[in-house]
Structure formats: C-alpha cells, structure tokens
Amino acid sequence: MALNTLLASVLCTLVLPLLLILVALKLWEVYTVRGRDPGCPRPLPPGSMGLPFIGETLQLILQRRKFLRMKRQKYGYIYRTHLFGNPTVRVTGAENVRHLLLGEHRLVSVQWPASVRAILGSDTLSNVHGAQHKTKKKAILRAFSRDALELYIPVIQEEVQVAVKDWLGRDSCVLVYLEMKRLMFRIAMRILLGFEPEQIKMDEQQLVEAFEEMIKNLFSLPIDVPFSGLYRGLKARNFIHSKIEENIKKKVRDSDKDPKHRDALQQLIDSSRKNREPLSMQAIKESATELLFGGHETTASTATSLIMFLGLNPDAVDLLRQELMDKEEQGMDLQTLNIESLEQLKYTSCVIKETLRINPPVPGGFRVALKTFELNGFQIPKGWNVIYSICDTHDVAEVFPNKDEFQPERFMTKADSSSRFQYIPFGGGSRMCVGKEFAKVLLKIFLVEVVTKCHWTLLNGPPTMKTGPTVYPVDNLPTKFMSYGQT
C-alpha cells in the first residue's frame, strides 16, 4: 500500500508534469506549423519553434552568434523558428537574400519586431512604407549628398582629433568601444541633429546612458510591464525625446532662415513644410532618435572593429601609413581633407570594406511576407516574419577565399556583378542604408587621424565579440595608445 502511494506521488510530482510539458510543446509545434499555406505544394523550411509563446527568443538574446551558428549548421541556409512573438524564417546566402531584397513591396515588406517598432516609433524611415517612405528617404538623402558631406568633414575632423589627443594623453588604457560610442554620439548629435557642442557637453552623460539603455532593450519580448526590457527601453526613449524636443522647437522657429548647412533633421522639417504636411512633434522626435541610432551606434561598432583588426594585423597598418605618406608626397593635406582626397585613399577604403565583411555592425534585416512565396524549394507563408542574415551571408560567400583572414587587398580588384549580394554590409534594394556614404567618410577620416598619430596595443588580445543589437567586444577592447614613433 505504501509502495503504491509512493508510486502515485512520484507520478503526480514528476512524470505527469513532464508529460504535460511534452504535450504542450507538441501542441505548440503543431499550432505554429498550422501557418503552412495548403495552397502551396512546397514544405515549410526545417527548424524548431521553441517554447510556447516565447519561441526561441531567449536563446537568441542570450547566445546571439552561437545560437545562429548552431541553427545554420543544423538546418542549412533557410530555416524556421519563432522569435519576438512571431513565426520566423531566417535566410542566408547571396541568391536567397537577392530574392528577398529585390522582392521588396512585391513579396516582402520591412517589419521590425514589435519591441523595435514600439521604441523607435511607427513613423521612422525604417518602419514607413510606400509613398511615405520615398518622401522621407528623399529628404534624408539630401543631408547625405556629396555637397553636404563636404561640409561635415571639418566637424568630423575636429571631434576625432580631440578624441585621439585625449587617448594619447592617458596613462591608463582606453576602453575603445565605450570611447567610440561617445565620439560617434557627439558627431551624430552635431551633424545629424544640429546640436551645438555646448548643448552636447551639458547633457552628454545622461543622453549616452539613456541611449545605452534604449539600445540594450530594442530587441526584447513585447511585454510592457514594470521592469521588463520593453518598459525600460521606452522609459529611456522618453528621456531622450524630452532632451531633443527643445532643439526641434528651435529648428522649427528658425526654419525660415537660410543657414549654410542644414542637417538631416532640418531636412525632414523642411520637407514637411514643402509638402504642406502637418508637423508632428512626435514624428520628428522619432526620426531624430532613429538618426542618432543609425548614425552613431553602427559607426561606433565599425570603428571599434577597425582598431581591433589593425591591432592584430600590423602589416595592414604599415600599408595604410605608406598610402598616406605617398599621398602627402603628392601634395595631399591630411589636416584639411575633402571628398576628393578621401576618394583617393584606395587601400584605406579596402581596410574598411574588409572590416565590414568580417564584422558587419548590423547582423541582418527584418521583413514580413506579403504573400506566400517559394524560396529555394521551401514555402514562406504569408504573414510570417523573414530575417535575412548579413553576417552569415558574408560567412558563406564563395567569392571570399580564406574568409577567416583579414585581407583588405582582396577588395583592390573590382568585384563583378555576380557577387553583388555576397557582400551586403549596408543591406540592399530600396531599403539600403541611406547613411552609407556618411559612414564611409567618417570612418576614413577616423583612420587617417588614428594611423598618422597613434601606435596602439590591444591589452587583452583578440576579444570575444557579441551582438546586441550591433557587434561589439565583450571586454570593450582595452587598448594602450601611444604617439606614433614612440615604443
């Protein structure tokens, strides 16, 4: 009798809950796979949907690249999963990505996770569609025209020179990633939003901390309750909006004036007035926040990767210095750069391209299927999210031999058109990054300054890299900077 009671107790406390969990998982898998379109003969991509409701979101957030690498090795270039509350197909490989990027508005449409849309806002360039997207993109592109970039160069040089001088003056090491975020934040505030240096200095610490909190929680479960990731992200976003609003009001008041340079935010204000659209303070604040995110977080990631790769590859630094010395001998003034002189720095360009190949700052892009379509033998059901992977596509690109090695010279020869979608650090199609030329100019100026003034040593050697949401070193890349020529 006692034995029967014990067995019953074990059954109730251990076996029965386990069976219920297994049944729940099976029902969840059946429920999510019901999204398959019966009108399409192709099967769903292979994969797993994870836990009920949360899917595999937690594994992605906690493991990032390790999780993605494991999934790709197990299921191949196209697989299904469940992320951020939605059934999702993740896509890798040039041909697959080309199919998606050229199918914008026909097969797929941009749709970031609910948490991203909630924090950044629904009226941002990355979230609007159709005519609204074209109008907003056109306005922002004016701020990244060749003439506009020419005017930005002195401001960028000034900020980079001040930062490098500070690093060289320190006895202790520099945590490169943290410093890059501050540097790129100041540049973005001045160039993209038109803030004066005094304004930035007054609020810099609070704004940087708030931006950190916002970015950290961009990709979180879409649950807005106290202490959740989304709640913290929204709170930080609201603080940033409050600091930006006064500057926007000043721009609106002064928009009848005709200054020599109009920053990206001013272009949006001008566009609204030109099109006789009502000026929405919330929409402008959201656009300003998006510009700050796109304008400093990605460039900070890439600038950090540049210091890392060059610190690990001194031969590449020697070639950079040789190019700059040759240009100086030919009459180039490295202290007063312009677009034309920057375009002559071919090897410098290759170093940036190779860095973006190995460590693209943004790992991928989000879309939603507008209709059920076929991709490489699988069906992508209408309404499912689709993520195209930039980092994985670079990893598997056949045009890059010895892909694990840092070889900038691979970009010295012009790529043929067939390799177009094997290298996509800025995305592609109609949604290609509008600030890519700004980023290239900024990073070239940064390299010129740091290579001509500095010698540096990575104190921890090659770091472990993580993604959240951009690529960064977990140790912040502690580095000792010394004046060039000093040992």
pLDDT of residue 413: 84
Tell me the percentage of the chain whose pLDDT exceeds 90: 48
Please tell me which of 207-211, 286-290, 318-322, 334-338 the model is most confident about, judged by mean pLDDT: 318-322
CATH superfamily of 35-483: Cytochrome P450 (1.10.630.10)
The helix (H) or strand (E) run that includes residue 472 is strand 471-473
Note the pLDDT tens digit of each residue in 125-144: 887 787 888 887 887 888 88
The first and second tokens of residue 175, run together, are 């945590």
Rounded mean pLDDT of 110-138? 83
Confidence band (pLDDT; 50, 70, 90) for 147? confident
> Could you give phi then psi for residue 379, rounded to 5 degrees?
-95, 140
Asked whether residue 397 carries a pLDDT value surpassing 80, the answer given is yes
pLDDT of residue 122: 78
Give me the chain's average pLDDT, please: 86
Asked whether residue 274 carries a pLDDT value surpassing 90, the answer given is no
Rounded mean pLDDT of 86-113? 92
pLDDT of residue 486: 55
Beta bridge partners, 80, equal: 47, 89
The span from the CA of 141 to the CA of 301, in Å, is 23
Note the pLDDT tens digit of each residue in 60-80: 877 777 888 889 899 999 999
Please spell the DSSP secondary structure of 27-67, one letter per residue: HHHHHHHTTS-TT--SPPPSB---BTTTBTHHHHHHHTHHH
Name the nearest CA neighbour of 164 among 485, 487, 484: 484
pLDDT of residue 345: 96
User: Can you give the residue ranges of every domain in the chain?
Assistant: 35-483
**Residue 433 counted as an annotated binding residue:** yes
Asked whether residue 207 carries a pLDDT value surpassing 60, the answer given is yes
Note the pLDDT tens digit of each residue in 418-430: 678 999 999 988 8
Asked whether residue 15 carries a pLDDT value surpassing 80, the answer given is no
Lowest mean per-residue pLDDT among 247-261, 310-324, 415-429:
247-261
